[in-house]
Structure 1
Amino acid sequence: MAQLAQLSKLERQIGIKTTPDKFYSFFKNNMPRFPQMFQSNIKSFEVVGGGEVKTGSITSWKYCLDGSPVMGGKVRFETMDDARKTFVFDVVEGDVLKVYKSFKAKVEIGSDCVKWTLEYEKTNNDIPNPDAYLGLAAKISKGIDVHLCQ
């Protein structure tokens, strides 16, 4: 009998001082600026086929986690909910899928924090949890908040 895949979740909340509207709008509309803002981690970003980032968009990223070589991947934005200030994106191609069978992130911007939830399935039980990805998410969230509070 085949064993059912087991999805795991990791969550992290990052406090912010800027308003949720400002943070959400900046995150949604300024992803192409991330390589300039986070040069040590985000190496490139583009919307596949051009245009703006919106629900259904596929984006291509080159990035590195602290201490890792440059990796790449493509992400599909499942949801961009302006009313709830929420993004959901799913990795559809790239290095992370060599380690995890599936990898999805949800970003929720609240009144005083940004909550990141990673949902993933490991390729085997020896694979570590994706804590480094939450670390990168926290770094980006804090960087955006500092930028917006200047």
Structure 2
Amino acid sequence: MTVHGKMEIDFEIKAPADKFHDVFSCRPHHISNISPDKVQGVDLHDGNWGKAGSIICWSYTHDGETKVAKEVIEAIDDEKNSTTFRVIEGDLMKLYKNFVFIVQATSKEGGGSIAHWTLEYEKLSEEVTEPYSLLQLGVHLSKDIDLHLMEQAQAQA
């Protein structure tokens, strides 16, 4: 068993890639209104919303427990619709030495997008299980955001 790991998943969403990306890159503090059962709050601790180097703190529910994660936004790539978050404090640091989330959306021909989540991590020990449920949390959160964006688009039409 290895202590370094990487997990990825792709799935379809209906929302445009740039709109989906904007939620994670510039408006993560809106996610608690979009998906309150999964994310209870996202607070800015340092920097500015939508800027690499900013530090944000997530209060979220994972595996039925309320948890926190302080993250630095390492990179925002508006051309690739990608945002990279590195966890620097919080519950995940009890199990992992390093943990990085990358959320990206790519436009599909004919409409909609492909959402792509990447989790890169280094476990503190071989006994730590792979973060499958955390990857699934990202998928479910993304689907909530997709539904919200599509409802917004219909309301504006």
TM-score by length of 2: 0.85
Aligned CA-pair RMSD: 1.5
Report deviation, 1:50: 6.1
Superposed CA deviations along residues 91-118 of structure 1, whole A, max 9, x for unmatched, are 0011101011110111121122110010
Question: How many pairs are equivalent?
Answer: 145
Of 79, 86, 94, the match for 1:83: 79
Larger displacement relative to structure 2 (85-94 or 41-50): 41-50
- Paired residue for 1:30? 27
**Contact 1:14–1:142 (8 Å) recurs in 2:** no
- Paired residue for 2:16? 19
> Any stretches of 5+ residues in structure 2 without a counterpart?
108-112, 152-157
Take 2:46 and 2:86, find their aligned partners in 1: how far apart are those partners? 18
**Contact 1:47–1:57 (8 Å) recurs in 2:** yes
Structure with greater strand share of residues:
2
> Any stretches of 5+ residues in structure 1 without a counterpart?
none
Q: In the alignment, is residue 142 of structure 1 matched against residue 143 of structure 2?
A: yes
**Contact 1:47–1:53 (8 Å) recurs in 2:** no
Take 1:27 and 1:93, find their aligned partners in 2: how far apart are those partners? 19
Q: How does 1:39-78 map to 2 (within 5 A)?
A: 39-49=36-46, 51-67=48-64, 69-78=65-74
- Paired residue for 1:121? 122
Take 2:46 and 2:54, find their aligned partners in 1: how far apart are those partners? 9
**Contact 1:77–1:89 (8 Å) recurs in 2:** yes
Of 95, 99, 115, the match for 1:99: 95
Percent identity over the alignment?
Answer: 33
**Contact 1:45–1:59 (8 Å) recurs in 2:** yes
Return the letter of the residue paired with 1:106.
I
Report deviation, 1:53: 3.2
Take 2:149 and 2:87, find their aligned partners in 1: how far apart are those partners? 28
TM-score by length of 1: 0.89
Take 1:38 and 1:61, find their aligned partners in 2: how far apart are those partners? 13
- Paired residue for 2:155? none
Structure 2 residue matching 1:53: 3-state secondary structure: coil
- The list of structure 1 runs, each at least 4 consecutive aligned residues, that deviate by more than 3 angstroms after superposition, is none
**Contact 1:14–1:141 (8 Å) recurs in 2:** no
